Amino acid sequence: MGARVGGSDHSIRARGNHRDGRPGGDGGTAAQVRKVTHRLLSPALREPAEAAEYHESQRPGLGADFLHEVGTAIERIPRHPEAWMKLSPHTRRCRTHRFPHGVIYQIRGEEVLIVSVMDLRRHPDSWRDNL
């Protein structure tokens, strides 16, 4: 069982302005597209693989379900990087839906840096050691 490795590019459509200059609407112009990439630190690759092994030992198939859930969370982040809870001025957390894990990340310009994929029931500040 292996965790997904690497990063990816995502296009984000920025909404235009209303004709009177207010944000939002189509403003009569084509939407702008901003490229956002994501990259995972080594611990963020290792942590979900280790957790998946544990879940798989508890019930066959649960490890694969876990990796799918983490992958879905990681794919959501570059689409809406500022949507999730701030942990510090530069760090945010996107929670998985089914498992008590969070994807800890930082927005660094046009890149989202995945710092950790952690079990939220354990040492909530342990992600800081990954930086």
pLDDT tens, residue by residue, 7-50: 444 433 333 333 444 444 444 444 444 567 888 888 889 999 99
Per-residue pLDDT reduced to its tens digit, 58-72: 999 999 999 999 999
How far apart, in Å, are the Cα atoms of 55 and each of 46, 48, 52, 63, 126?
Answer: 15, 10, 5, 5, 21
What is the band of 99 on the pLDDT scale with cuts at 50, 70, 90?
A: very high
Domains detected in the chain: 36-130 (3.30.2310.20)
> How many residues are present in the chain?
131
Instruction: Say what the pTM is.
Output: 0.69
